[in-house]
Structure 1
Amino acid sequence: MTPPTPPPTSPAGGARAVAPESARWRRVGLVLAGPALLLLAFGVGNRWLALVACLLLAALGLAALTAPSVSGLVVVVRRPARAAVGDVVEHVVVVHNGGTRTSPALVLHLADNPFSPGHFGVPAVAPGEAVELRIRRTAVVRGAADGVDVVLEWADALGLVVQRRQSLAPAPVHVHPAPGAVPALPVPGPRAGAEDLAGVRPFRRGDSPAAVHWRASARRGGGPTGPALVVVERETPPVGIRVVALPEPAEVTAAEFEAVLQQATALLLADLSAGRRSGLLDADGTVHEGLRVLDALAVAQPAPRRLEAAQAAAGRDGEVVVAGAHGWRTR
């Protein structure tokens, strides 16, 4: 989901309002309606129609004189950089008036794809002042956005002309899938030539009798203080990175792919919580680790797997896990 090109921004990092073409054409239409109606009244000689045209022109003139200004308004949005689908996320919206006139009371609309839309009232803001709103919005779909589409809507004193201005307030966010069930992974078999024995050492107080190597102890014989027992020391097997590769387009439907993403999110979060290195292979062959896997999951799409890149990242001590809608497998 690619956000629209951002409008000119203020030095403070907020976005200034930019009037859409539709609002400009509506105002032009209302301005032309009065003179057109007046000419029609003179053409047909209808005094009542002329009176209506004059009243419309007077109302438009009054609306123009009392038209509030929002040119100095700057909207800044702050929110967490990451969220999961279904999370209710607080958005802090600051509306600052950098102009010289008090802004009118208006309606603020927030709309961007990852979150549910919202509509909120903003009171009048004096010059140099700011209003802060704390708004809770639900993350409804996974994806990424560079900012929030902010629409300001207000009217003149008579309510004759409603104006709308749209802006993009920078607030980058990644919404990753909600964690599902951790997938069942096949247990890897022993590696060829693998040996977990590091050697033997003398028995120490606190060692378990099960660790005693009796054959080696018998060969050493005894001493003045008793038998020279030795225990087996085992190497800690090396644990490398676990790389998750997602399904290819021909292997899953759209719904199955989203279910696989939920499983992958649960697995990667469990590894992260347990302190195990894990990563996600993206369509470009890049393996993302740590919290960056959540950002990659937010924008993941089915693509051909680059298993050579995954195997290179996993190395000799790691493993590559291929995700699937009907089961996961290791390579």
Structure 2
Amino acid sequence: MESLTSASSRQRFSRQAESIRRWFRPPRRLRFSRAGGVFTCGTLLLGFAAVGTGNNLLYLVLGAMLGFITLSGWLSEQMIRRVEVRRRPPRGLTAGHPARIAYEVRNDKRRLPSLAVEVGEAALPGRAWVPSVEPGATAVARAEVVFTTRGVFPLETVTLATSFPFGLFRKERDVEIPGEAVVWPRHDLPVREPRPAGERVRRAGESFAGAAGARGEYRGLRPYRAGDDPRDVHWRTTARRGEPVIREYERDRSRALWICLDLRAEPGGLAESAVEIAASLAGAASRRGEPFALATADARVSPGTGAAQLERVLDALARARIRADAPAPNPPVPAGECVLVTARAGGRGRWGDVYAAEREGR
């Protein structure tokens, strides 16, 4: 319990420190490159020499160098001035896997193009490169990012930057774009098949009517949704309406594999391994085309199949809050018909099958 409290305190302190840092972070910044620092120091030294000697040639060179610096600062400001950005975070960020965040960069200036612009998240590494955006035009750039852990991460500030035209300075401008990135746990780990008691889950559960599913008694037609089986497309109605239409069937709940994740654990370590096991069980069921469902103390995902169902389960797992005082999982079917995934060692007990992160070697 003490470690849980200390972890929560560290997270709270980190959020407060980030808020303070953002408060004192100026919306526009000018950074010297190595060449820019050398050039500026040389200009200052030349200025002292010109004042000390009164040499007109030195004054002439000093004026040229100061004009060079002024022109560089003005042009770099024009490159990021009146530039609008829209973020398009990808659907399906997975912890430990590289992903790309897309940015739409629009140049609202009337005459000048924006050249050599970098765009990316202020709090994340990885930058997208936009070589040129004509006046009134829009360009799309993508920055590669990697999230090491699952969860919901706020995306608040996008940074525009340029070193145009001479590379002496780096001009940066912040654009506030509130958003978030939902990072799924890994769901490609090799996991064993549920044991015989777990196999009975998909045959002995209670059945119900009225829910849309993969196969069963014909129910009617509905618009296509992402993850639906292409074999269920009703081509005649699709051709008449000009949009995909799907045959809908009744489904038997007895065929659903219920995955129950126990959130009662200390954050990190084995707890995150348990989340990855639950996600991998769902991924394996999705690849086999079998219906599956999820139950935790915080969320419940009804039975379903396909890619859309897997996304719903992974979204719920990304938002799962591991804590020692979490309630026990309470599935809507008898526990003996469910598969329990937990970070704690223990026997099968009343559950149909148990995946303990420590015992599974994750």
TM-score bracket relative to the smaller structure? 0.5 to 0.7
Aligned: 1:78 with 2:88: yes
Q: How far off its partner does 1:265 sit? A: 0.9
Q: Within 5 Å, which residues of 2 pair with 1:147-186?
A: 147=155, 150-169=158-177, 172-179=180-187, 180-182=189-191
Which residue number in structure 2 is paired with residue 244 of structure 1?
261
Q: Which amino acid aligns with 2:120?
A: L
Matched position secondary structure for 1:277? strand
Q: How far off its partner does 1:24 sit? A: 8.1
Matched position secondary structure for 2:63? helix
CA distance in 1, matches of 2:191, 2:347: 11
Which residue number in structure 2 is paired with residue 276 of structure 1?
292
* Distance change (3 Å), C-alpha of 1:45 and 1:176: same
1:249-275 CA deviation, whole Å, 9 max, x = no partner? Answer: 1xx8x3323322211112234556522
Which residue number in structure 2 is paired with residue 260 of structure 1?
274
Which residue number in structure 1 is paired with residue 108 of structure 2?
98
Aligned: 1:293 with 2:293: no
* Distance change (3 Å), C-alpha of 1:71 and 1:112: closer
Matched position secondary structure for 2:132? coil
1:224-254 CA deviation, whole Å, 9 max, x = no partner? Answer: xxxxxxxxxxxx97989553213411xx8x3
Greater helix share, structure number: 2
Which residue number in structure 2 is paired with residue 11 of structure 1?
none
Matched position secondary structure for 2:114? coil
Asked whether the 8 Å contact 1:145–1:172 carries over to 2, the reply is: yes
* Distance change (3 Å), C-alpha of 1:79 and 1:248: same
Q: How far off its partner does 1:89 sit? A: 3.8
Q: How far off its partner does 1:301 sit? A: 4.8
1:302 to 318, 322, 340: 322
Q: How far off its partner does 1:84 sit? A: 2.4
Q: How far off its partner does 1:298 sit? A: 2.2
Matched position secondary structure for 1:181? coil
Asked whether the 8 Å contact 1:319–1:330 carries over to 2, the reply is: no
* Unaligned stretches of 5+ residues in structure 2: 1-10, 20-24, 207-252, 303-310, 351-362
Q: Which amino acid aligns with 2:332?
A: A
Instruction: Figure out how many residues of one structure are paired with residues of the other and give that number.
Output: 262
Q: Scaled by the length of structure 2, what TM-score is found?
A: 0.54
Q: How far off its partner does 1:303 sit? A: 0.6
Aligned: 1:23 with 2:18: no
Matched position secondary structure for 2:269? helix
1:191-223 CA deviation, whole Å, 9 max, x = no partner? Answer: xxx9x9xxxxxxxxxxxxxxxxxxxxxxxxxxx
Asked whether the 8 Å contact 2:94–2:150 carries over to 1, the reply is: yes
Which residue number in structure 2 is paired with residue 202 of structure 1?
none
Asked whether the 8 Å contact 1:35–1:57 carries over to 2, the reply is: yes
Which residue number in structure 2 is paired with residue 225 of structure 1?
none
Q: Scaled by the length of structure 1, what TM-score is found?
A: 0.58
Q: Which amino acid aligns with 2:30?
A: A
Matched position secondary structure for 1:248? coil
2:332 to 306, 311, 314: 314
* Unaligned stretches of 5+ residues in structure 1: 6-17, 197-235
Matched position secondary structure for 1:259? helix
Identity rate of aligned residues, in percent?
Answer: 23
Matched position secondary structure for 1:95? strand
Asked whether the 8 Å contact 1:81–1:172 carries over to 2, the reply is: no
Matched position secondary structure for 2:317? helix
Asked whether the 8 Å contact 1:185–1:329 carries over to 2, the reply is: no
Q: How far off its partner does 1:177 sit? A: 1.5
Which residue number in structure 2 is paired with residue 61 of structure 1?
70
- Which stretch of the first structure deviates more once superposed, 55-64 or 261-270? 55-64
Matched position secondary structure for 2:296? strand
Asked whether the 8 Å contact 1:241–1:314 carries over to 2, the reply is: no
